[in-house]
A and B are shown apart, each in its own frame.
Chain A
């Protein structure tokens, strides 16, 4: 990943992971009580036409606030949810019911709270062994050794295999979660808020572990987080989602130096800076997140956008490439041919 070529890997001819118009809709309110009251079924468009390309060895960040669909997208990539539309390919191969089981060994997930996915009555050694035996990954007699090796790999001592989950701290539990994901020998790991439940000093330990593992094992990561500091540190490319749709995609440095979408600009401005003198006086963005079941017409962000125009209320902006590797879905960039630097125009406005 220190290789600068890796930065552009997402646009290589054959990405490791690729989605096209991936969509997940949930039907809401099909219950009897609602139907008796004459209410119609509604649709939550959790993920609404997301196209991504992730190159081998790359770390892509996925950011957004509650309800933007980032976790659903992560689950779709693992085929833990059936997509309602669109497709996903892994090494060019279509991921569907018939291939998911086989491919899932190569794709693993790390959750925010590994405690909730560990059986409190089982020792962690057993929990990891279970993965090895269910998937027939290693002969019975060498399983214990493999567990010890995995624990050691994530910075825990092999004797800890005999302890139960509650005897571990939050950081240690996350290490166990990572060990369990590694047991499968994955290539691609979706890390869904892996450090959000951890204190900063421990958070740094776990982030370092993720970096180390990537360098050693050549892993590819999709890092889902609401924490822009973490995303900025770990990734080279960032995808920003708002209410089920990708609003911007950029190399990490560009995104922070020069965010294009008004939502990205607000998101970055809203993060409280550690430097007391780098304060922003005004509120970054007014208003609440809209109800995702009834997203605003046109561009979903228009209700909160300081630059909203008439067209924003009626038409969803097509995502367009405005610079190498930079994609933005915003009507402000429709006129790019005329304005030499629309981003600058927006910044003046802000």
Chain B
């Protein structure tokens, strides 16, 4: 296991400014579990700033969850090949061995998931599950751990924490379980919280509560959040910057207002147009025709070409990369300049 600091690094390679807390360079994830390898994630690069909520949005199978899991080594070791770099401070997380990684995961970087019940132990009281994390990562004594558990429950807005700490996960509603999972994730005051569809399984009024809680926690604790969601509304309300993923690649990244007002990739335009709208009398929506390509043998050139209304011959052959479309806005589209403005 090589230590991160043994590796010679240049300033461009790791986190390059005080603002940046996490930098992902050319991340690739390949699943070799089937008869043929699946390239779930390819060439994904982004950075997350201090105190920022960074969104990753895309549809099923676009690689957004695999990206998030790869960051903290949560993908199964067997049959999965992860390439690239994930710089966290001066450490490349992909070079860390399992042991040092475990010190980072759950303490400095922690994660919440779509379905909290899967990650809570049904036979342990909530108290034990929160204290377990504190035991793992801190030197707090028993009494201090107890006090911290109460504090964490209050932080995530659970009333009567003393009593609820004695209860089991099944005694909690879906929204409350997500709060418990958050309490565990926040136990060691992480610098970065990774949230994978944290509200997708919840009712809309409960989703609203959890999203606002996440925002409040970000403001109070100053942590950064990477939020993965399929819901553009959630992304629009929560994030400062966002990356749109399609077929394993980032196709567009921009500050969230800019992305929604003036998308510069046909897929982003298509996604926004697919949403039920209220500013038109048409009974018909504007769907994206077709379906995403297989990631076993992804097409060369632009992966969206087959579904794209603006496709040109050269789209199918060019070596795609993110091109600067506007200030801070990058698009993996040759025609980003000539695309129509939305609602034109």
* A residues at B contact (CB < 8 Å): 1-2, 65-66, 169-171, 199-205, 207-208, 211, 226, 228-230, 232-234, 256, 266-267, 269-277, 279, 282-286, 288-289
Contacts and interface: CB of A to CB of B under 8 A. Distances in A.
A226 B203 contact: yes
Interface string B271-310: 1101111100001111111010000000000000000000
A274 B283 contact: no
Contacts of B289: 205
Interface stretch (B22-30, B38-46, B205-213): B205-213
Contacts of B287: 201-205, 208
Given A272-B234, A283-B208, A201 B270 contact: yes
A15 to B, nearest CB: 22
A9 B250 CA distance: 48
A201 B59 contact: yes
B217 interface: no
B260 A226 contact: no
Given A204-B286, A277-B257, A66 B291 contact: no
A203 B237 contact: no
Contacts of B173: 288-289
Contacts of A169: 291
B208 A204 contact: no
Contacts of A230: 276
A272 B236 contact: yes
Nearest to A304: B205
B230 A199 contact: yes
A65 B205 contact: yes
B2 to A, nearest CB: 40
Interface size of B as a range: 35 or more
Given A272-B237, A273-B233, A286 B209 contact: yes
B204 A267 contact: yes
B60 interface: yes
B176 interface: yes
B292 to A, nearest CB: 9
B236 A273 contact: yes
A200 B257 contact: no
A273 to B, nearest CB: 6
A275 B256 CA distance: 10
Interface in B34-68: 59-60
Contacts of A201: 59, 270-271, 274, 287-288
Interface string B217-249: 000000000000011111011100000000000
B257 A202 contact: no
Nearest to B307: A201
B36 to A, nearest CB: 17
Contacts of B212: 282-283
B175 interface: yes
A170 B232 CA distance: 20
A218 B210 CA distance: 42
Contacts of B175: 288
Contact of A211 (B209, B277, B283): B283
Contacts of B256: 276
Given A65-B203, A201-B270, A201-B271, A208 B284 contact: yes
Nearest to B159: A287
B236 A275 contact: yes
A232 B276 contact: yes
A199 B203 contact: no
A204 B207 contact: no
Contacts of B209: 283, 286
Given A200-B59, A256-B278, 20 more contacts: A65-B206, A169-B291, A199-B60, A200-B230, A200-B271, A203-B274, A204-B288, A208-B287, A266-B205, A270-B204, A272-B231, A272-B233, A274-B232, A274-B233, A274-B272, A276-B260, A279-B237, A284-B205, A288-B175, A288-B206
B53 to A, nearest CB: 12
Contacts of B233: 271-274
A256 B173 CA distance: 29
A205 B290 CA distance: 9
The 7 closest A-B pairs by CB, nearest first: A204-B287, A233-B276, A272-B233, A270-B208, A199-B59, A65-B203, A204-B285
A170 B230 CA distance: 16
A80 B163 CA distance: 42
Contacts of A275: 236, 260
Nearest to A201: B288
A202 B175 CA distance: 28
Nearest to A197: B60
Most buried by B among A226, A275, A283: A283
A115 B205 CA distance: 29
A176 to B, nearest CB: 15
Most buried by B among A170, A203, A226, A232: A203
B294 to A, nearest CB: 11
Given A65-B204, A211-B283, A277-B257, A288 B176 contact: yes
B231 A270 contact: no
Given A229-B275, A274-B232, A171 B208 contact: no
Contacts of B232: 200, 274
Contacts of A276: 236-237, 256-257, 260
Contacts of A274: 232-233, 236, 260, 272, 275
16 contacts: A169-B291, A200-B59, A200-B232, A202-B287, A203-B274, A204-B275, A207-B285, A211-B284, A229-B275, A230-B276, A233-B278, A267-B205, A272-B231, A276-B256, A289-B173, A289-B206
